[in-house]
Amino acid sequence: MSVAEAVVVKKFAALSLDEKLDRLAEVAVRVGLGLKPGQELIMSAPMEALPLARKITEQAYKAGALLVTTLYADDPSTLARYEYAQDASFDYAPSWLQEGVANGFRGGAARLAIAGANPALLAKQDPTKVSRANVAASKAGKPAMELITRHEINWTIVAAATPEWAKLVFPGEREDIAVAKLWEAIFAASRVNVDDPVAEWKRHGERLKKRVEFLNAKRYAALHFKSADGSTDLKVGLADDHLWAGGGTTAGNGVYCQPNIPTEECFTTPHKDRVDGVVKASKPLSHQGALIENIAVRFEGGRIVEAKATAGEDVLNRLISTDDGARRLGEVALVPHNSPIAQSGILFWNTLFDENAASHIALGQAYSTCLIGGEKMTSEELAKLGANESLIHVDWMIGSAEMDVDGIAADGTAEPLMRKGAWV
Ligand code: ZN
Ligand code: ZN
């Protein structure tokens, strides 16, 4: 850190929490969404994120929002369902609401999600009920989700520090201290602890774009991940006509947005039938309120044929049994181990952060925008190129300071892309 940077960080540290939230809200609206004057905003947030949701609402109206509508989720109410609801409740989801949200998107609305739900909320609930409820919610949410995964609209995710999440990230700390520490980690990872966060994001976006252009020019046929201890030795074939993406993107509605705050990844679409070898997760995974630890799986011809975990193995097995595509990859992403989030050394138990700390793969749905001309293709055309289709999309981390990655050309020659987790 230079002297100039030290002064800037100190200036940020001198701000009140209220002012810091306002900075994050400004980045969310101006950088994350690129919200246009007259555009509607549909937001989702946990109840505990109310102060940030209010700041984002203010910033959205200042940017000219037509109307901001927020759907709040309340953890005790969710738990009440698991405790008292009749059995049929777990196969039901409000498709009327999701249809309405999808209609809002089709009518021009942007979407913002505040992440911060308790990662272990449903850890003690019946996994069958959890997975039934997730399947019902995924089915009902599909029309809205498709508009998001196809980048038809501008959307973004930002995070809020909430008490249950903070206690999991900083165990042993008093609740208020844990929450304060998590907020500081979020501000740093989200690059708002600088003088001009909007300008810093512009620079960061340009750096990511350069990396993406390099990878796109290479046209690799596959990536080879290899860990020092041999627990990962995985060849990930890339989809024909794959496109790397990272940083900002111009959505189908013409608005330039940064879909994740923070973001450090360059990602693309693997070929659903060309993944072989073994891979071990480098971090635990929190999936819909359940924790899955030490995931180790074996792929054959693109399909998971063996899946193990030291905790949450049943949740993992249910997850990959959601549909045929749930056993196959829909994303592969490269993240250097020297990213600010990785350097913080914090395990966030939250994909938005942990996936930006390490190279990762995702089971399930592929992003059609990661294929040349993919936005305009039918599901059949996408499948022909090797893009996977599923109700799920779950990222899990495989990168570490011990991971080497090679790019494999179409003729089989390998060249080093990453050594010990860092770009070559
Ligand atoms: Zn990713
Ligand atoms: Zn992903």
| Structure token digits, residue 257 | 């947005």
Distance (angstroms) between ligand 2 centre and the Cα of 351 equals 8
Angle at Cα 189 formed by Cα 183 and Cα 192, nearest 5°? Answer: 80
Give the ligand with the smallest distance to the CA of 362: 2
Give the ligand with the smallest distance to the CA of 333: 1
Q: What pLDDT score does 340 carry?
A: 83
Distance (angstroms) between ligand 2 centre and the Cα of 138 equals 16
Distance (angstroms) between ligand 2 centre and the Cα of 8 equals 33
Asked if pLDDT for residue 296 goes beyond 80, the answer is yes
The H-assigned helical ranges of 247-301 are none
Distance (angstroms) between ligand 2 centre and the Cα of 343 equals 21
Distance (angstroms) between ligand 2 centre and the Cα of 55 equals 27
Distance (angstroms) between ligand 1 centre and the Cα of 359 equals 8
What does each C-alpha distance from 266 to 176, 214, 248, 271, 385 come to in angstroms?
A: 35, 11, 11, 17, 20
Distance (angstroms) between ligand 1 centre and the Cα of 156 equals 13
The C-alpha atoms of residue 382 and residue 346 are separated, in whole angstroms, by 37
Domain range list for the chain? 3-189, 219-250+258-423
CA-based end-to-end distance of the chain: 23
Among left, alpha and beta (phi > 0; psi -120 to 50; other), residue 80 is alpha
Asked if pLDDT for residue 10 goes beyond 70, the answer is no
**pLDDT (average), residues 299-318:** 96
Give the ligand with the smallest distance to the CA of 334: 1
Distance (angstroms) between ligand 1 centre and the Cα of 4 equals 33
pTM beyond 0.75: the answer is yes
Name the band, by pLDDT with cuts 50, 70 and 90, for residue 339. Answer: confident
Q: What pLDDT score does 2 carry?
A: 52
Residues 290/315, Cβ–Cβ less than 8 Å: yes
CATH architecture, domain 3-189: 3-Layer(aba) Sandwich (3.40)
Burial pattern 50-80, b for ≥16 Cβ within 10 A else e, equals eebbebbbbbbeebebeebebeebebeebbe
Distance (angstroms) between ligand 2 centre and the Cα of 14 equals 35
Distance (angstroms) between ligand 2 centre and the Cα of 362 equals 6
Which residues sit opposite 82 in a β-bridge?
A: none
DSSP tag of 260: B
Distance (angstroms) between ligand 1 centre and the Cα of 63 equals 29
